[in-house]
A = this chain, B = another copy of it.
Amino acid sequence: MRDVAIIGIGNTKFGELWDVSFRDLVLEAGLSAVSDAGIDGKDIDALYGGNMSAGRFIDQEHIGAIIADYAGLSGMHIPAVRVEAACASGGLALRQGIMAVASGWHDIVMAAGVEKMTDVESGEQTDILIAAADREWEGMAGATFPSIYAMIARLHMDRYKTTREQMAMVSVKNHHNATMNSKAQYQMEVTVESVINSTPVSDPLTLFDCSPITDGAAAVVLAPAKIAKKYCDCPIYVKASTQASDTIALHNRRDITTLDATVFAAKKAYEISGLTPKDIDLAEVHDCFTIAEICAIEDLGFVPKGEGGPATESGMTALDGELPVNPSGGLKACGHPVGATGIKQAVEVVLHLRGEAGKRQVKDAEIGLTHNVGGSGATAIVHLLSR
């Protein structure tokens, strides 16, 4: 098995991009990654594309082939693979791309993620997204993703005394970080008060607790670690790439305030890499809702269970805190094009490890973690990256 490095990154602006199509998005992200890696499209041996639901968002399947074709790669007849794990589709594309290089089957691999979510009506978006949960036991009963995470939030508040304000602080922090990210969907500050007083979505969650509907794409170029320096001065090495699953429906879980898939994926990642949560300099975690970031920092081992709220309140996860979490602005403020998020997280971590993150640069970042969740935690994917 070979070690793998990231040698190129790219991502589009995230937002409601009315004049940009699915194909334009993935092409733009892919081209910037290719250009960043200093390679030619012809050097790419295989392509992995993460996408949740183009079948419903744009009536298009066969996403691997569409990407390869519109990226101008079809003439090379390379393998083009679409992977899907709902909102973890991007992380899954990264993991399968890494596996393809690690296995020795392919050398230079592109892993991309893309979602074009704004070309349908908003009621339809909610219905499309609940397909990431259990349609028969959750969707058909009227559950939406905000309502599922609201249940998690309620129990977390009840059991661990997590406060409404602490959840709002996740949003405040991530919005603040996004003001320094020109690619973010919402480059504006919010306050605890404005979060709490925004439109109720599913009590206790309000609009500003929820990640938005976003168009966007991101891409990375992978290569065997041994030859990575041929392509770039600062390859970023993959120390671990792990994935775990859980029941798709919330009601079958051991405990809904812990995402066991996250716990398992993280444990395995630490085991493989020999690293511990203390070694991590920054983390991009799956804050699809503010409560999700609180659960994530607990489940990833950064703080003991139940202490995610107080940790957030203490400033530990702020950009100048002990462990900066979601410097990009996270899903909440950078935006959440579901299939692209897992790749964007890696792009963000690479920027920091290279020292190219501009105003939001985490100082002396050596090791970063990405955490991408599918649905309400039926899939979790963790990557550990290092300089």
Query: Residues of A at under 8 Å CB distance from B?
Result: 1, 52-53, 55-56, 58-66, 68-69, 73-74, 77-86, 92, 95-96, 99-100, 102-105, 127-128, 131-135, 139, 242-249, 252, 260-261, 264, 374-375, 378-379
Determine whether the beta carbon of B61 is less than 8 Å from that of A248.
Answer: no
B residues near A252, Cβ cutoff 8 Å: 69, 74
Whole-angstrom CA separation of A62 from B247 in the bound complex: 11
Could you jot down 7 A-B contacts, CB within 8 Å?
A62-B86, A62-B378, A62-B379, A74-B252, A79-B245, A80-B243, A99-B99
Whole-angstrom CA separation of A318 from B260 in the bound complex: 53
B residues near A99, Cβ cutoff 8 Å: 99-100, 103, 105
B residues near A128, Cβ cutoff 8 Å: 55
Q: Which of B58, B63, B379 contacts A65 (CB 8 A)?
A: B379
Determine whether the beta carbon of B375 is less than 8 Å from that of A62.
Answer: yes
Q: Which of B56, B134, B245 contacts A68 (CB 8 A)?
A: B245
Q: Which of B61, B84, B242 contacts A64 (CB 8 A)?
A: B84
5 further A-B contacts with Cβ under 8 Å, apart from A55-B55, A62-B248, A69-B249, are A61-B86, A65-B375, A69-B378, A74-B246, A77-B245
Determine whether the beta carbon of A85 is less than 8 Å from that of B62.
Answer: yes
B residues near A61, Cβ cutoff 8 Å: 52-53, 84, 86, 131-132
Given A60-B135, A62-B374, the answer on whether A247 and B74 have CB atoms closer than 8 Å is yes
Q: Which of B55, B59, B103, B247 contacts A1 (CB 8 A)?
A: B103
A240 smallest CB distance to B (angstroms): 11
A130 nearest CB neighbor, chain B only: B59
Whole-angstrom CA separation of A248 from B54 in the bound complex: 15
A156 smallest CB distance to B (angstroms): 21
Whole-angstrom CA separation of A131 from B244 in the bound complex: 30
Determine whether the beta carbon of A77 is less than 8 Å from that of B261.
Answer: yes
Determine whether the beta carbon of A55 is less than 8 Å from that of B246.
Answer: no
B residues near A378, Cβ cutoff 8 Å: 62, 65-66, 69, 74
B residues near A69, Cβ cutoff 8 Å: 245-249, 252, 378
B residues near A133, Cβ cutoff 8 Å: 62
B residues near A52, Cβ cutoff 8 Å: 61
B residues near A59, Cβ cutoff 8 Å: 127, 131, 135, 139
